[in-house]
Structure 1
Amino acid sequence: MKRLIYIVPFFILLGSCKKFLETQPQQQVDQSEAITNASSAGTAVNGMFNVLASNDYYGSNFPALSYLSAGDIQWTGSQSAPSEINKHLTSATNTNVGSAWTAIYKTISSANYIIATVPGINDPLFTTATRNQYLGEAYFVRALAYFDLARGWGGAQLILTPTITASDNKDIRRSTQAETYAQVLKDLDAAEPLVPTALNRNRVTQKTVWALKARFYLYLQQWAQAEQYATQVITTADYSLLKPYSAFFANSAVSTSESVFELAYTVSNTNNHSNWWLPPALGGRREWAPSDVLVGLLNNPLVGGGRSALIAQTAPPGNLWYGKLYYRTPLGTDPAYIIRTAELYLIRSEARAQQGNLTGALADLNAVRDRAGVTASTAATLPDILLALENERRVEFPFEADRWFNLVRTDRAQTLLSLPDKHLYLFPIPYSETLVDPNLAGANRNPGY
């Protein structure tokens, strides 16, 4: 429950934090010494990234809410929670939804403590550049977390200060979705001048902020700003569309020029993607599996092209299709892809189309298609280009947290997925939260749950 969750920053379980900074790993940070100097500040930032990368957040569970909702991924296991999501019968007691909610608020809590504490640290070893980097990264991570709450659950309670005692941050009303998005932009604006400008695909830089701003403005249908920030990333030499399509993930590739922001994992700090995607013969459970329709699209040379590399088939007699974006040995050391260069091209394409620049929109769409080895689109009208973009996202990001949220933002989910009601566009507020917090109960719950 949230009042317990918020105290986590003072006891941050770090696992292997060397994947983010070369600091000595610590198992926990006591409240009295949590952030007192440059070293402990770095440890706390590592902890924040580890919660962001945890299995309940981007390590598998949060993307799964999108996979299982969007119609192209089947659930083959026996657990009831993912089956509910897959069938659009999600309840407020769904444990997958509740775990994702909890992990997002844990991430926010970690960011809040860094934002509140780092400015006051008096340590001669704590340079201004490093101090600003930590603050900027905390603002960015909090922005990403609230962005995910806004697109997944609608309005959220905006917790912006640490919770040290049980009485802190009580009785906070639930903000509207618009207010939540406004907080996202405020945090991104705060992060932008603080984070480094140098390239880093696993940490937050100025270009990472620009990329999330491009996605943010797309969701808010502010087309000129979406185009502007997408262009600022695309025109940077650090990012490109790799050929062939599989180059960004095949042969154990990591941190390629395709990635704007990806989370790294190690043998001592793994994620769960491959466990759910790979068949038992390869060490997984294959409880997420591509649908027959998706398999057909990816294997169609006129649609999927080189993106057929995303799937493979088990040996006879099973002949089962499975996703192989996440496959590395040791299992669980695959990166989690948060923002890729291809998304920036498709964001700019849509933004240009909505502003009447159909030629520019088609050029960006075809850049993505060309990289995949697919012939150029001949879409000529705005509706045609928007439909082509929808279809392109479907095969470009089938195993990333993309399709469901895009179908919701374009109000296409009900039509394409035959949803009985649009209340399903939002996930339910977890029942356990509504029991302890009147600001999330009664009329404050998402309708229909």
Structure 2
Amino acid sequence: MNTRKWLLPLLLLSGCSNFLTVQPDLQVDEQKAITNAATAEVALNGLYNRLGNDGYYGSNFPALAYLSGGDIQWTGSQGAPQEITARKLTADNGYVSSAWSAIYRTILAANYLLETVPTLTDPLLTADRKRQLQGEALAIRALSYFDLARGWGGVQLVLKPTRTAADNVGIVRSSLTDTYAQVLADLTAAEPLLANTTNRNRVTRKTVWALRARYHLYRSEWEQADSYASKLIDDATNYKLVKPYSAFFANNAVNTTESIFELAYSNSFKNGHSNWWLPPALSGRREWAPNAQLVALLNNPQVGGNRSAVIAQTAPPGNLWYGRLYYRTPTGTDPAYLIRIAELYLIRAEARARLGKLSDALADLNAVRSRADLTALTATTNPTAESLLLAIETERRLEFAFETDRWFDLIRTGRVATVLGITDANKYILPIPTSEILADKVLTQNPGY
């Protein structure tokens, strides 16, 4: 990582209690910035802003998945997204460099908190609150390294703050296994520090359980994926599928029982998605759009069910299909959905199918299908683990059509060549940005770029 480039300032929120009210970055001495309870809370607020900014979950990181996954087309003229959809991605791609930089900024913001908070002696910062702050920072750092791992493979593990150009120099890339091991280490450390409460906009112990379910799925650790998914599915008072499908996002809904972790946005801190999804008639650019195949699947009542609500069509003569998960007025105030209870059902369904528990897997799959007004699948129609796994793949494709899943699902299951025809395995991971390679002599490029 280019440490000279990322001498990270915290995102200070002057005189505002709303953690999503963003002020300009301030170049400050970080050691002086986090000095008491108030500034520690400000720093934590800034960490969530890092997670939700345009380079990360506010736009560019999900876009890499959207445009790679085969269901979303690019309708504009910019070169960077065209490279992604054309399977001609280069190390100079702006989407790639923006996402990489944003994720590392998030990691570095977490590192400042993790180093500084334990040293604070402010009586207003109780021991329990210190633990919570550290747990949230650890979990967000874990999510950040998880996203780097599934996007770029093994990466540099930067675990301490970068305050000078000499800090964190010469860190070689870790293996993919070691990068995922860091994710697990951070999640494991975070879990006992966090309160066992329900908060859909902030990290709690329950958020960590959900992230662990996803982590274990990616690592093919089926028993653990089943176990952690069950922790939230069994908490039906706080987490359950809302009906119909659109109820978690339509009519300005926020923080429904569907959501495990969603990022809130406001007029002063906007989610960039609506700009790219909505058509000009709705003040957007519609440069990300569902392709004809996805539209047909969503509109097929035997396949998409009521999930057709996530798309809409402009009036004639345009008749343009567009995604409407992000649609709100004022523009850009839509939540970003990082993990929903539907994912936990489908994680558990996949884990149980791979463990040979086919009837249990069918039950979880059918819970999601029922919410979408689809008929239940049976052991007769899906008699083998292989057929059931394909059914789960289809369900994930449509359930999370405009979330950050399709491309990574195809990669982790080894299905990308069959489904998308991409046989060059070098294309299964993203390139390290050229600017980073040039700035850091120990940083090596991924093969093929």
Deviation at 1:52, TM superposition (A): 0.6
Counterpart of 1:398 (choices 398, 401, 423) is: 401
User: What letter matches 1:176 in structure 2?
Assistant: S
Report which stretch shifted further, 79-88 or 28-37: 28-37
Tell whether the 8 Å contact from 2:12 to 2:43 is kept in structure 1 after alignment: no
- What CA deviation, in whole Å up to 9, does each residue of 1:79-123 have, x standing for no partner? 000010111110011010010000000000000010000000010
Tell whether the 8 Å contact from 2:10 to 2:109 is kept in structure 1 after alignment: no
Q: Which residue of 2 aligns with 1:133?
A: 132
Matching of residues 2-401 of structure 1 within 5 Å: 2-8=2-8, 10-12=9-11, 14=13, 18-20=17-19, 28=26, 30-31=28-29, 32-236=31-235, 237-378=237-378, 379-401=382-404
Measured in 2, the distance between the counterparts of 1:224 and 1:15 equals: 46
SS in 2 for 1:332: coil
Report which stretch shifted further, 24-33 or 315-324: 24-33
User: What letter matches 1:407 in structure 2?
Assistant: L
CA gap 1:223/1:17 in 2 versus in 1, 3 angstroms: farther
Tell whether the 8 Å contact from 1:202 to 1:262 is kept in structure 2 after alignment: yes
Tell whether the 8 Å contact from 1:133 to 1:195 is kept in structure 2 after alignment: yes
Measured in 1, the distance between the counterparts of 2:393 and 2:15 equals: 38
Deviation at 1:16, TM superposition (A): 9.8
User: What letter matches 1:391 in structure 2?
Assistant: T
User: What letter matches 2:181 in structure 1?
Assistant: A
Percentage identity across paired residues of the two chains:
61
Report which stretch shifted further, 31-40 or 60-69: 31-40
Deviation at 1:7, TM superposition (A): 1.6
Measured in 1, the distance between the counterparts of 2:231 and 2:10 equals: 39
- What CA deviation, in whole Å up to 9, does each residue of 1:313-356 have, x standing for no partner? 00000000000000000000000000000000000000001111
Deviation at 1:6, TM superposition (A): 3.2
SS in 1 for 2:200: coil
TM-score (normalizing by structure 2): 0.96
CA gap 1:417/1:13 in 2 versus in 1, 3 angstroms: farther
Counterpart of 2:424 (choices 401, 404, 421) is: 421
Unaligned ranges ≥5, structure 1: none
Tell whether the 8 Å contact from 2:65 to 2:405 is kept in structure 1 after alignment: yes
SS in 1 for 2:261: strand
SS in 2 for 1:193: helix
User: What letter matches 1:268 in structure 2?
Assistant: S
SS in 2 for 1:4: coil
Deviation at 1:33, TM superposition (A): 2.3
- What CA deviation, in whole Å up to 9, does each residue of 1:10-48 have, x standing for no partner? 342559964438x99786372152100000000001111
User: What letter matches 2:447 in structure 1?
Assistant: P
Deviation at 1:67, TM superposition (A): 0.3
Measured in 2, the distance between the counterparts of 1:400 and 1:184 equals: 21
Deviation at 1:5, TM superposition (A): 4.2
After superposing on structure 2, the runs of 4+ consecutive aligned residues of structure 1 that deviate more than 2 Å are 10-21, 23-30
Measured in 2, the distance between the counterparts of 1:439 and 1:263 equals: 35
Measured in 2, the distance between the counterparts of 1:166 and 1:7 equals: 7
User: What letter matches 1:380 in structure 2?
Assistant: P
CA gap 1:432/1:365 in 2 versus in 1, 3 angstroms: same
SS in 2 for 1:337: strand
SS in 1 for 2:3: helix
SS in 1 for 2:192: coil
Tell whether the 8 Å contact from 2:74 to 2:289 is kept in structure 1 after alignment: yes
SS in 1 for 2:442: helix
Say yes or no: does 1:408 pair with 2:411.
Answer: yes
Deviation at 1:219, TM superposition (A): 0.3
TM-score (normalizing by structure 1): 0.96
Measured in 2, the distance between the counterparts of 1:24 and 1:71 equals: 34
Measured in 1, the distance between the counterparts of 2:355 and 2:189 equals: 28
Counterpart of 1:431 (choices 434, 439, 449) is: 434
User: What letter matches 1:187 in structure 2?
Assistant: D
Measured in 2, the distance between the counterparts of 1:131 and 1:388 equals: 44
Measured in 2, the distance between the counterparts of 1:13 and 1:395 equals: 39
User: What letter matches 1:300 in structure 2?
Assistant: N
